[in-house]
Amino acid sequence: MPLSAERKSEYFDKLKELVTNYSKCFVVEVDNVGSKQLQSTRKDLRGKAEVLMGKNTMMRKCLRDFVEENPGSPVEKLIETCRGNVGFVFTNGDLGEVREILESNTRPAPAKVGSLAPAQVVVPKGPTGCDPGQTAFFQTLQIATKISRGQIEMVNDTELIKEGDRVTAPKAALLQKL
């Protein structure tokens, strides 16, 4: 749903006010971040910093307008960072303290089908807790297994997903099972 002209002008005013009043800024990537997690981060930052999210084209336009009004402003460097799912955290306080708060609110997210893996996923060898009827599932992923004590046991450590690879449906399902 497109934003009304009134809401856009409010957003422009808000961003220009933040850029004017705050001397420091973090650019945060918010891929796979839920609303509850973002809400708790905003709560923890209250009084220390302000979080602003928005549409990239609107943020770029607003920052360009600000740079035109204030030539030579360091804000110009922020324009190129408006790519992907990003937001800004403005502060006048200690960057280290704000960074600690941001990192303390980072949570690992389960692998979603089609998303890019932010890290390598290695499944350790040992019992899986899956019943022997699911051996075909492991065979399709070419994972060596054996059955011991009524459950499937992985024989070797298995690199399931490499960093930067797309997560496939069978791999995501396996991680869900484990």
pLDDT at 82: 87
Count the Cβ atoms, other than its own, within 10 Å of residue 148. 10
Look up residue 128 and give its DSSP letter. Answer: -
pLDDT at 1: 56
**69: its two tokens:** 């009004």
Consecutive 10-residue runs of the chain (178 residues): their mean pLDDT?
A: 81 88 87 83 88 88 88 83 88 88 79 76 81 80 82 82 81 77
pLDDT at 178: 73
pTM of the model: 0.68
8 Å CB contact between 18 and 58? no
